[in-house]
Structure 1
Amino acid sequence: MNQELKVLFNNYIIEKKQYHTESTHINANEAYAPIIKCLIDLGINTTDDLKFEDGIRIFNWFDQNSCVKNTTKNKYMGYIKAVLRHHGYLSHPYLLVKKLPNDVEPYKPVDRELFDSIIEYAANKDTHVNDWIYYAVFVIMYDTACRIRELLTIKKQNIIISTNTIILENKDTKGRTQRFVFFTDSKKDLLRDMIKQTPSEYIFWNYSKQRKLTENDVRNYIRRIKKKLNIDVFHPHQVRKLSATDLVVAGANLKTAQTILGHKEQKTTELYINYTALVAKQEYDKFRNNQKSSLKK
């Protein structure tokens, strides 16, 4: 049956809302907008219009009209395939289109000195009503090692100050399972203030727009930081990876790090840990010092 692709996309977004977190479906229309525009520009309006050969045409359109990498182009291709499968087009020829080679390196943990400079900038900037909230984003993210999407869905009733614990609800985590994350004593007063001042159930609140803080809000703030501090690359996920690396360097085993990060597989956690020469030297010194102590006995 021949159907309009734009209608299928809209139906898919609506029907998938029940399975996604609030922050996901709030940005769904924005996420799908580029691929819908691409299809319209190429005159691919219906399922019959969409051919196997259009895989190349779509990739070329993004080359000509954007600066996105292969990873993003593959993501848009995946959106089309997901919509087709969702509506029962299980043998559509477009499903045979293959992914482009990956041309993006995974984010590495943010450099410690760079992160400290970002924290210092955020802590000392007090010209906007939301500045203190953005500071909280970075320091709470580092403490908890949350994904940015998980962080922004933290509710005040799920923060247990007495035990330095935050409960992430299963609908708000990537793995759809409840998870416990933790924070240091130094963040207790900050979290108390956030709980006290928010007019919502969410502690990360956009006070200028009177709504929950979104990932786009954080991205826009990061753009300003990058410009102000002359930073080429900085992404919230780098903070999560720095937190994971520091946990292991401080003595946590990989299983502990895996549990806090919410990874299903330990090999994923291993990829997060940045074993630089400095980290290796710290581990070596720790091992050798313990070895010397045992030899003296």
Structure 2
Amino acid sequence: MDFITASKEFLDYVEITKANGTLDVYTRKVKILNKYFGTTDISVITKKDVIKFWSWRKASLPNIKPQTLNKYRTVIILIIEYHTDIRLKVRKLRENHIMIEVIDPHTVFTVFEYLRQQTTYKEGLRNYVLFKLIFDTGLRINEVLNLKVSDFSFETNTIHAKVTKTKRERFVYFKNDTKKLIKQLITRDRAIDYIFKSYQKDKRLSVDNVQSLCFRIEKKLNLSYTIRPHEWRHTFATTFLKRGADLETLRLILGHASIKTTQRYLHLDNDFIRNEYFKVA
């Protein structure tokens, strides 16, 4: 079986058995893998072919992280194993455990001010609400994009997140200023299902759509740092802790199964650590 056919059947299986977030990640990886492996028979793919793919991908993206290359490795192994019951033995690349940067308050303000000024445009209001909601709730981007009108309770400022990475439903909360914007968006779009839609394709926004939007904003505002969805989630989490919240509450909001995950995921940003240091130094 050729790789393109094998990957399609594998994604059909993932769609049924895994969370939507996992499907989105695998789908994006498969698009690149199909370009490289194409009609290659999966039965002849070896460890050397995976290494050659790594080299090919790194040639086009010199700054690609080992973590990302390892994700491609995982997808290749799973596709082959799904069809042949053979698990390709390829060691993971050594990963660099880099501290994730939060979005600094000035950048948050700059981005929100820019988005607020765009709310007279159809996409502008949608984009503003999208980022406000991530910053209020700490939801993963795929969880936000799967929100429907029926998931919101405006009496209690609560969202019932039903489509989650862990497949465990949970509740998150939003502020009053964000509530007004959400209501405005729903009313304007006459939305009855998904909140965040692509107006060109008349279907819900994809993760790729949002990633592209972040890139355009970074370029437009000449930002020094990236403002990708996961960094907004990370910024929410660190801000929440710095305001005095406890880890267990944060764990429930973020949807982590274990408190250890929350502890590994979080760090206090460099500015905060420096300020705390000089209070006692």
Question: Matched residue of 1:180: which SS?
Answer: strand
Q: Does 1:203 find its partner at 2:198?
A: no
In structure 1, the residue matched to 2:236 is 243
Residue 72 of structure 1, aligned match among 54, 64, 68? 68
Q: Does 1:272 find its partner at 2:255?
A: no
Query: 1:246, 1:81 → 2: CA distance?
Result: 38
Q: Is the 8 A contact 1:244 1:273 kept in 2?
A: no
Question: Matched residue of 1:101: which SS?
Answer: coil
In structure 2, the residue matched to 1:108 is 101
CA deviation map 1:5-50 (0-9, x unaligned): 322111111222223455765785543021122224xxx7113321
User: CA RMSD of the aligned region, Å?
Assistant: 2.6
Q: Does 1:81 find its partner at 2:73?
A: no
Q: Which residues of 2 match residues 25-64 of structure 1 at below 5 A?
A: 25=23, 29-40=27-38, 45-64=40-59
Moved more, 182-191 or 60-69: 60-69
Query: 1:188, 1:234 → 2: CA distance?
Result: 23
Q: Is the 8 A contact 1:125 1:131 kept in 2?
A: yes
Q: Is the 8 A contact 1:181 1:260 kept in 2?
A: yes
Q: Does 1:178 find its partner at 2:173?
A: no
TM-aligned CA distance change 1:275 to 1:33, over 3 Å:
closer
1:126 Cα shift? Answer: 4.3
Q: Is the 8 A contact 2:238 2:268 kept in 1?
A: yes
Q: Does 1:154 find its partner at 2:152?
A: no
Q: Which residues of 2 match residues 199-238 of structure 1 at below 5 A?
A: 199-232=191-224, 233-238=226-231
Q: Is the 8 A contact 2:21 2:164 kept in 1?
A: no
Moved more, 44-53 or 232-241: 44-53
Q: State the AA in 2 paired with 1:264.
A: A
In structure 1, the residue matched to 2:2 is 4
Moved more, 103-112 or 234-243: 103-112
Give TM-score, length-normalised by structure 1: 0.83
Q: State the AA in 2 paired with 1:74.
A: N
TM-aligned CA distance change 1:184 to 1:279, over 3 Å:
farther
Query: 1:269, 1:132 → 2: CA distance?
Result: 32
1:260 Cα shift? Answer: 0.4
Question: Matched residue of 1:61: which SS?
Answer: helix
Gaps of 5+ in 1: 289-297
Question: Matched residue of 1:166: which SS?
Answer: strand
Query: 1:129, 1:206 → 2: CA distance?
Result: 10
In structure 1, the residue matched to 2:12 is 14
Query: 1:11, 1:66 → 2: CA distance?
Result: 28
In structure 2, the residue matched to 1:117 is 110
Query: Whose radius of gyration is greater, 1 or 2?
Result: 1
Gaps of 5+ in 2: none
Q: Is the 8 A contact 1:12 1:83 kept in 2?
A: yes
Query: 1:255, 1:284 → 2: CA distance?
Result: 29
Query: 1:18, 1:107 → 2: CA distance?
Result: 32
TM-aligned CA distance change 1:211 to 1:6, over 3 Å:
closer
Question: Matched residue of 1:107: which SS?
Answer: coil
Question: Matched residue of 1:76: which SS?
Answer: helix
1:117 Cα shift? Answer: 0.5
Q: State the AA in 1 paired with 2:184.
A: D
Q: Is the 8 A contact 2:20 2:142 kept in 1?
A: no
Q: Is the 8 A contact 1:147 1:240 kept in 2?
A: yes
